[in-house]
A and B are shown apart, each in its own frame.
Chain A
Amino acid sequence: MAEIVIQNLRKEFGDFTAVQSSSFTIEDGEFFMLLGPSGCGKTTTLRMIAGLELPTSGEIFIGGEEVGQKRASERDIAFVFQMFALYPHMNVRGNISYPLVSQGMPRAQVREKVAEVARILGIEQMLDRPVSGLSGGDRQRVALGRAIVREPKCFLMDEPLGALDAEFREHMAEELRALHDRMGATTVYVTHDQLEAMQMGDKIVVMNHGVIEQFGTPQDIYDKPATLFVAEFIGSPHMNFLRFSSRIEVGATSVDLAGEQLGVPAVQAPFEGEMVYGVRPEHVRLSDVSGYRGEVIATEYLGTTQIVTLRAANGDVKARIPSDQPARVGETVGLAFDGATVTLFDAEGGRALPTVLNEGVLLHG
Chain B
Amino acid sequence: MADVSLREVTKGFGNTSAVEAMTLEIPDGAFFVLLGPTGAGKTTTLRLIAGLERPDTGDILIADRSVVGETPAERNVAMVFQQYSLYPHMSVRDNLAFPLRSPILRTPEPEIARKVGEVAEVLHIAHKLDNKATALSGGEMQRVSIGRALVRKPEIHLMDEPLSSLDAKLRADLRVELKRIQAGLGATMLYVTHDQIEAMTMATHVGVLDEGRLVQVGTPREIYENPVSLYVASRLGLPRINALPADVFAGAPAGAATIGLRPENIAQGDGKPSHVVRVEHLGDQTRLHLSLDGHAIVTLTDVHSDLTEGDTVAIQPRNALYFDASGDRI
Interface residues of A (CB under 8 A from B): 165-167, 174, 177-178, 181, 193, 195, 198-199, 217-219, 222-223, 234-237, 280-282, 298, 300-304, 307, 309, 320, 323
Contacts and interface: CB of A to CB of B under 8 A. Distances in A.
A302 B278 contact: no
B176 A298 contact: yes
B190 to A, nearest CB: 19
B17 to A, nearest CB: 23
Interface in B209-241: 220-221, 224, 236-238
B284 A320 contact: yes
Given A280-B284, A300-B179, A307-B201, 6 more contacts: A165-B38, A177-B278, A178-B278, A222-B282, A300-B200, A309-B176
Contacts of B264: 303-304
A301 B221 contact: yes
Interface string B290-310: 000000000000011000000
B168 interface: yes
Does more than half of chain A's interface fall in helix, strand or loop, or is it mixed? Answer: mixed
Contacts of A222: 281-284
B197 interface: yes
B283 A223 contact: yes
Contacts of B168: 193, 236
Contact of A302 (B176, B200, B283, B303): B200
Contacts of A281: 284
Interface of B: 37-38, 168, 172, 175-176, 179-180, 194-195, 197, 200-202, 220-221, 224, 236-238, 262, 264, 278, 280-284, 289, 303-304
A303 B179 contact: no
Contacts of A302: 197, 200-201
Given A298-B180, A303-B237, A234 B283 contact: yes
Nearest to A281: B284
A301 B176 contact: no
B283 A300 contact: no
A235 B195 contact: no
Contacts of B202: 300
A282 B175 CA distance: 20
A181 B38 CA distance: 32
A301 B201 contact: yes
Nearest to A320: B284
B236 A303 contact: yes
Contacts of B282: 195, 198-199, 218, 222
A303 B224 contact: yes
Contacts of A218: 281-283
B281 A300 contact: no
B283 A237 contact: no
Contacts of A217: 281
Contacts of A223: 283
A181 B276 CA distance: 14
Given A301-B221, A303-B224, A303-B236, A282 B284 contact: yes
A313 to B, nearest CB: 20
Contacts of A234: 283
Contacts of A199: 280, 282
A82 B201 CA distance: 31
Contact of B200 (A198, A235, A301, A309): A301
B280 A236 contact: no
B201 A300 contact: yes
Nearest to A232: B169
A236 B168 CA distance: 9
B201 A181 contact: no
A80 B262 CA distance: 35
A355 to B, nearest CB: 18
Nearest to A307: B201
A280 to B, nearest CB: 7
Contacts of B38: 165
24 contacts: A165-B38, A166-B195, A167-B194, A174-B289, A177-B278, A193-B168, A198-B280, A198-B283, A218-B281, A218-B282, A219-B283, A219-B304, A223-B283, A280-B283, A281-B284, A300-B200, A300-B201, A300-B202, A301-B220, A301-B221, A302-B197, A303-B224, A320-B284, A323-B221
Nearest to B280: A199
B176 to A, nearest CB: 5
Nearest to A304: B264
A195 B176 CA distance: 21
A166 B202 CA distance: 19
A235 B221 contact: no
A301 B218 CA distance: 14
Contact of B281 (A219, A280, A320): A219
A147 B89 CA distance: 47
B172 to A, nearest CB: 7
Nearest to A323: B221
A193 B168 CA distance: 9
Contacts of B172: 236-237
Contacts of A309: 176
A198 B201 contact: no
Nearest to A200: B280
A195 B303 CA distance: 15
A199 to B, nearest CB: 5
A300 B200 CA distance: 7
A214 to B, nearest CB: 13
A219 B197 CA distance: 24
A222 B202 CA distance: 28
Contacts of A301: 200-201, 220-221
Contacts of A181: 278
Contacts of A167: 37, 194
A304 B266 CA distance: 13
A323 B221 CA distance: 9
Contacts of A307: 201
A199 B221 CA distance: 27
A68 to B, nearest CB: 33
Nearest to B195: A166
A177, A218, A304: most-surrounded residue (chain B CB, <10 A): A304
A31 to B, nearest CB: 11
